[in-house]
Structure formats: structure tokens, C-alpha cells
Amino acid sequence: MPTTLTPAQVRDTFKQGLDAAKLDPKVQAFWGADPQYYLPDRKEIELFLLHNINFQPGGLGTGFDCDDFAYAVKGLIGIWNLNRAGMQTSWCVGVIFGRFSWMPGEHAANWYIDKKGIIHLFEPQDHSFHTLQECLGDVKLVLL
């Protein structure tokens, strides 16, 4: 597996992963602005979370809730890459809205694709890692 993917390759990998998880998403948007995306491994994501994310779990009601956590992680990974990791491409990390086994109702979380082409989910509020199979469906939005 390469260490980077094009936006089209990311989209195809994600669609194949959703198909394998027997999900029927009605994804409203999937777009990548960069020509290539770096495929991080779990240790790199964990290091980023350890040094960058000190959120108060639970947020502030709807003033800072799951989608705000997920967007903040997406943005801060870019800053982490710029200031510390130094990769020449953006990281293949995004935001996903759907239903998940670890949270009741609709929820926003983060995802990444690793160097083996496997899609992983992680919870920005508590730093827990999950498999794509823990997505229960109703995927409404996937952002890269």
C-alpha cells in the first residue's frame, strides 16, 4: 500500500469500506482539495491526540458538541502537520456523521485511512479508537 492517496482513491477506499461494513450511506459530500493525502498509522494519531487535544468531554451543550470536536480535530491535525510532523501532504483524516455503537443517536466522529488501506474511526472527545464496523449506518456526511 502506498503512503499517500489521491482524493479519488480516498473516496473509493471509503466507499469500499462502507460497502464491506454493509452500510448504505447517503453521503452528501466527499471532496478533497489536495492532490495527495498522507496515510497515518495509529501511533501517529495517538501522538497527535496526546499533544494537542485537551477537550472537556461532553462539550458545552450544542454550543460545542460532537461536530465541533470532530471539526477541531480535523483542523488541528493540519496545524500539527505544519508545525511538528512535517509531512509534505495533508493527513488522510476526516469527519463522519452517522450512528455509532459507542454513542446513542446521530453523532460526529473522526476517521483516518492507514497505510494498509484500512479505515479507522476515532472519538475526538475521549480518544477511543473504533472499527468501521462500529458504524451502525445512517451516514449522512463524510468530509476529507
Question: Which helix (H) or strand (E) element contains residue 42?
Answer: helix 42-52
- What does the pLDDT read at residue 73? 93
Look at residue 101 and tell me if it is in a domain. yes
What is d(CA 60, CA 1) in angstroms, rounded to the nearest whole number?
A: 41
Distance from C-alpha of 129 to C-alpha of 46, rounded to nearest angstrom: 9
Q: In this predicted model, what pLDDT tens digit does every residue of 81-110 receive, in sequence order?
A: 888 878 888 999 999 988 999 999 999 999
Residue 143 lies in a domain: no
Contacts for 80 with CB less than 8 Å, ≥ 6 apart: 48, 51, 52
Phi, psi at residue 13, to the nearest 5°?
-60, -45
Q: Residue 144: inside a domain, yes or no? A: no
We report the CATH number of the domain holding residue 11 as 3.30.460.70
- Evaluate whether residue 142 is within a structural domain: no
Q: Is the pLDDT of residue 61 over 80?
A: no
Q: Cell numbers of 38, please? A: 498522507
- 123 located within any domain: yes
Per-chain mean pLDDT for the chain: 84
Enclosing domain of residue 95: 4-137
Please tell me the distance from the alpha carbon of residue 76 to that of residue 93, in angstroms, as a whole number: 11
CB neighbours (10 Å) of residue 42? 13
Residue 133 lies in a domain: yes
In percent, the amount of the chain with pLDDT more than 70 equals: 83
Question: 7-20: per-residue pLDDT in tens?
Answer: 888 888 877 887 76
**For the residues of 19-41, what is the DSSP string, one character each?**
HHTT-----------SS-EE---
Query: Angle 88-79-44 (CA atoms, 0-180°, nearest 5)?
Result: 70
pTM of the model: 0.86
What is the mean pLDDT of the segment spanning 30-45?
A: 88
Number of domains in the chain: 1
d(CA 67, CA 105): 13
